[in-house]
Amino acid sequence: MRLGSLWAITRRELFALFVTPIAYFVMGTYLFLSAFFFFNYYSNFHRALYENAALSKTPNITMNLNDWVIEVYFHSLVLLLVFVVPLLTMRAFSEERKRGTLELLMTIPVTVRELVLGKFLALLILLLLMCLLSFFYPLMLFFWGAPAPEWAPVLSGAVGVFLCAAAFLSLALAMSTFSENQVVSGISSMALLLLLYVIFWPAQSLGGYGEELLMAVSPVWQVSGWIDGVVGLSSSFYFISLIALGLFSAVQILEMQRWR
């Protein structure tokens, strides 16, 4: 792995992202929806707080910003990423194949691993920027929230959401290698991520090992610990494994297509 080639591909992809309106449209939509969710949860919290204070002489001390606002907000960001990430990745390899530039890239002294990792890093930088901007809303509560939220669940939740975003990105990038049609790539990636998002729903009805298996492979269940402020090695290994699986799959698929 040559860092010079890797950085050249990453820089090329970043430039390609920001000279087209797609990145700005996706980022703007993501930030608008995240702001809508956050301020809606915050207003519901204050409404419930005032109603509780007006109807009861003993205020409900269990009501806090973390339970009512932060946790549900981070879970909403995970749901948004299910739809946002495929919009970013659907052009990654599909557009290259459609224009015939993927074959050209394969002929220059750049390995497939460098190509995949360079595209992944470029999109990851964009996702990091989007996540940092959306994390600004919870940070405002430390200055204007009353009472202020606990900082540990906010920090761990933000890291957990970003890890989940990176895992989604890796899997969606692999799906982009199958077809030269952007719409097909986007829909197939969205279907895969949505399946992972809802896979834990029937867990309780199964019970036993079936329940444990569905919980283990569910990104929503794995990220819940981070959002609650509980960071576990198993969930960290889970997200790292998903990232590695997506990148490895993308490399193998491109290698097979290269030698056809």
Residues 145, 138: Cα–Cα separation, whole Å: 9
Chain centroid to CA 192: how far? 13
So where are the chain's domains?
A: 3-258
H or E segment and range at residue 158: helix 151-175
pLDDT of 48 strictly over 70: yes
Residues 83-137: tens digit of each pLDDT:
999 999 988 777 666 665 555 555 556 788 888 899 999 999 999 999 999 998 8
Quick one: average pLDDT of 9-31? 88
Better-scored residue on pLDDT, 254 or 208: 254
**Cα atoms in the 13 Å half-sphere on the side-chain side of 174:** 19
Confidence at residue 260, expressed as pLDDT on a 0 to 100 scale? 58
pLDDT of 77 strictly over 70: yes
Confidence at residue 101, expressed as pLDDT on a 0 to 100 scale? 57
Q: What is the pTM of this model?
A: 0.89
**Cα atoms in the 13 Å half-sphere on the side-chain side of 193:** 30
Least confident of 129-143, 194-208, 236-250: 194-208
How high does pLDDT run on average in the chain? Answer: 84
Better-scored residue on pLDDT, 80 or 63: 80
> Percent of the chain beyond pLDDT 90?
41
Confidence at residue 54, expressed as pLDDT on a 0 to 100 scale? 65
pLDDT of 173 strictly over 80: yes
What is the distance in angstroms between the CA of the first residue and the CA of the last residue of the chain?
A: 24
Quick one: average pLDDT of 185-213? 84
DSSP 225: H
Confidence at residue 108, expressed as pLDDT on a 0 to 100 scale? 59
Confidence at residue 99, expressed as pLDDT on a 0 to 100 scale? 62
Confidence at residue 122, expressed as pLDDT on a 0 to 100 scale? 93
pLDDT band at 17 (very low <50, low <70, confident <90, very high): confident
Structure token pair of residue 123: 């999109």
Question: Any idea what the Cα angle at residue 164 is, between residues 222 and 209, rounded to 5°?
Answer: 25
Contact of 102 with 179, CB cutoff 8 Å:
no
